[in-house]
Structure 1
Amino acid sequence: MIDTHVHFWNFDPARDSWITEEMNAIRKDFTPKNLIRTFNELKITGCVAVQANQTENENNFLLRLADQNEIIKGIVGWVDLKSKNLEERLSYWSSFKKIKGWRHVLQAENSAFFLSDDFVSGVKNLKKFNYTYDLLCYHDQLPDIIKLVDKVPNQPFVLDHCGKPNVKSQDLKAWAENIKNLAQNPNVYCKLSALLVEADWKNWKEIEIFNCFDVIFENFGPNRVMYGSDWPVVLLSRPYIDWFNLVSKYASKCTIQEKENLFLNCASSFYKLESQDLL
Structure 2
Amino acid sequence: MIIDSHQHFWYYKPEKHGWIDDNMSVIRRDFTPSDLKTVYKENGIDGCVAVQADQTLAETEFLLSLSAKNDFIKGVVGWVDLQDEQVADVLEEYGRHNKIKGFRHIVQGEADHNFVLRPKFMRGISALEKHQFTYDILVFPHQLGSTLEFVRKFPNQKFVIDHIAKPYIKDGFFDGWASMMTEIGKHENVSCKLSGMITEADFKTWTAAQLEPYMQVVLKAFGSYRLLFGSDWPVCLVAGNYKQVKDLITDFIASLSATEQADIMGQNAIKFYNL
TM-score range, shorter chain: over 0.9
Q: Give the match for residue 276 of structure 1.
A: none
Q: Which residue of 2 aligns with 1:4?
A: 5
1:44 match: 45
Counterpart of 1:239, as a letter, is: N
Alignment check: 8 A CA contact 1:194 1:234 kept: yes
Aligned partners of 2:189 and 2:105: how far apart in 1?
Answer: 18
The equivalences for 1:83-94 within 5 A come to 83-94=84-95
What per-residue deviation string (whole Å, max 9, x for no partner) do you get for residues 105-150 of structure 1?
0001123432111101110110011000000001111111111111
Number of matched pairs: 273
Alignment deviations for residues 38-58 of structure 1 (CA, whole Å, 9 cap, x no partner)? 211222100000000100001
- 1:235 maps to 237
- Give 1:167-178 correspondences, 5 Å limit: 167-178=169-180
Structure 1 match to 2:68: 67
In structure 2, how many angstroms separate the alpha carbons of the residues matched to 1:234 and 1:23? Answer: 10
Which residue pairs with 1:248 in the alignment? Answer: 250
2:82 alignment partner AA: L
Q: Specify the code of the residue in structure 1 equivalent to 2:106.
A: V
| Alignment correspondent of 2:137 | 135
Residue 158 of structure 1 aligns to a residue in which SS? Answer: strand
Alignment counterpart, residue 267 of structure 1, candidates 266, 269, 274 = 269
- 1:4 is matched by which residue type in structure 2? S
Aligned partners of 2:5 and 2:269 also within 8 Å: yes
Over the residues paired in the alignment, what is the CA RMSD in angstroms? Answer: 0.9
SS in structure 1 of the partner of residue 77 of structure 2: strand
Is 107-116 or 216-225 further displaced after alignment?
A: 107-116
1:226 is matched by which residue type in structure 2?
Answer: L
**Cα pair 1:132 1:155 within 8 Å, conserved:** yes
Residue 160 of structure 1 corresponds to which residue in structure 2?
A: 162
Q: 2:151 aligns with which of 149, 166, 183?
A: 149
* Counterpart contact for 1:170–1:208, Cα < 8 Å: no
- Percent identical pairs in the alignment equals 39
Which stretch shifts more, 36-45 or 254-263?
Answer: 36-45
CA displacement, residues 232-261 of structure 1 (integer Å, 9 cap, x when unaligned): 000000011111111111111111000110
| 1:16 alignment counterpart | 17
Residue of structure 1 in register with 2:28 after alignment: 27
Q: Unmatched 5+ residue regions in structure 1?
A: 274-279
Query: In the alignment, is the contact (CA less than 8 A) between 1:120 and 1:152 conserved in 2?
Result: no
Comparing 176-185 with 32-41, greater Cα deviation is found at 32-41
Instruction: Return the alpha-carbon distance in structure 1 between the equivalents of residues 96 and 35 of structure 2.
Output: 29
SS in structure 2 of the partner of residue 223 of structure 1:
helix
Preserved CA contact (<8 Å) 1:229 1:240? yes
Contact 1:114 1:148 in 2 (8 A): yes
Provide structure 2 residue ranges, at least 5 long, that are not aligned to the other structure.
none
The answer on whether the counterparts of 2:57 and 2:80 sit within 8 Å (CA) in structure 1 is yes
- Distance across 2 between alignment mates of 1:153 and 1:83: 23
What is the alpha-carbon distance in structure 1 between the residues aligned to residue 187 and residue 231 of structure 2?
24
Q: Which amino acid aligns with 2:109?
A: A
SS of the residue 1:191 aligns to: strand
Output the amino acid matched with 1:62: L
Q: Distance in 1 between matches of 2:208 and 2:244?
A: 11
The within-5 A match list for 1:101-140 is: 101-109=102-110, 110-140=112-142
Q: Decide which moves more: 190-199 or 17-26.
A: 17-26
TM-score (norm 1): 0.96
Which amino acid counterpart does residue 206 of structure 1 have in structure 2? Answer: A
Q: Which runs of 4+ in 1 moved over 3 A?
A: none
Q: Report how far residue 263 of structure 1 moved.
A: 0.8
Q: 1:80 — aligned with what?
A: 81
After TM superposition, the score normalised by the length of structure 2 is 0.97
Q: Using the alignment, how far apart are the partners of 1:231 and 1:31 within structure 2?
A: 11
